[in-house]
Structure 1
Amino acid sequence: MPAYVIGQMQIHNRDWMEEYFGQIPEVVSRHAGRFMVRGGDPERLEGESDLPDAAFIIAFPDREHAQAFWRSDDFQRLARLRRSGSSLNAILVDALE
């Protein structure tokens, strides 16, 4: 069953962004993932929490592929870089059958 990593990011500085975004698509692809959504300028439709600066959805063939991506050394190296200038809320969910 397909699974999705859904994230909302607050950007505190942009020093890390060129290196991170230059490499993350390849790391996602190596784990059979693909970006469904990746961008900024979110629009509030409902709710009161702060809007993120950017949001993303990454599709994977299944939960195991998503977890392998998240735990991989390549992603964790990039995640440390990202954390130097942003904060992220991310969840893993399964698709509907």
Structure 2
Amino acid sequence: MTAYVISEVRVLDEALAQRYRELAAASIARYGGRYLVRGAVPEPAEGAWDDERRLIIVEFPSAERLREWYASAEYAEALRIREHALERRLLFAEGLS
């Protein structure tokens, strides 16, 4: 079953955020993930959205592959940078079978 990473981010340091993006993208690809939405400012149909926040949606072939990616050594370096580069909310969700 397909699984998704949904992330809402606010950039704290643009240079660090760029390095994070590079590392994250390489690690995502290695685990079979692909970006569906990357850095978008969504148009809220209901409720409010902070214009400083960006939306990222990544699709993985399964929840197992998603969790392998998140716990991987390849992504660990990106996570260390993320702490200073981005403020974010990160969600994992499984798709429909």
Task: Report if TM-score (shorter chain) is over 0.5.
Answer: yes
Distance in 2 (CA, whole Å) between partners of 1:18 and 1:51 is: 19
Q: Which structure 2 residues correspond to residues 1-97 of structure 1 after superposition, within 5 A?
A: 1-48=1-48, 50-51=50-51, 53-97=53-97
Letter in 2 for 1:60: F
SS at match of 2:93: strand
Distance in 1 (CA, whole Å) between partners of 2:4 and 2:52 is: 18
1:52 deviates by: 5.3
Unmatched 5+ stretches in structure 2? none
Q: CA RMSD in A?
A: 1.6
Instruction: Output the TM-score relative to the length of structure 2.
Output: 0.87
Whether the 8 Å contact between 1:42 and 1:52 is mirrored in structure 2 is no
Distance in 1 (CA, whole Å) between partners of 2:48 and 2:94 is: 26
1:90 deviates by: 0.9
Q: Which runs of 4+ in 1 moved over 3 A?
A: 48-52
Whether the 8 Å contact between 1:34 and 1:59 is mirrored in structure 2 is yes
Distance in 2 (CA, whole Å) between partners of 1:90 and 1:19 is: 19
- 1:20-58 deviation digits (Å, cap 9, x = unpaired): 222222110111111111013322221135355211111
Instruction: Output the TM-score relative to the length of structure 1.
Output: 0.87
When the two structures are aligned, how many residues end up with a matched partner? 97
Whether the 8 Å contact between 2:23 and 2:77 is mirrored in structure 1 is no
Unmatched 5+ stretches in structure 1? none
Q: Identity over the aligned pairs, expressed in percent? A: 26
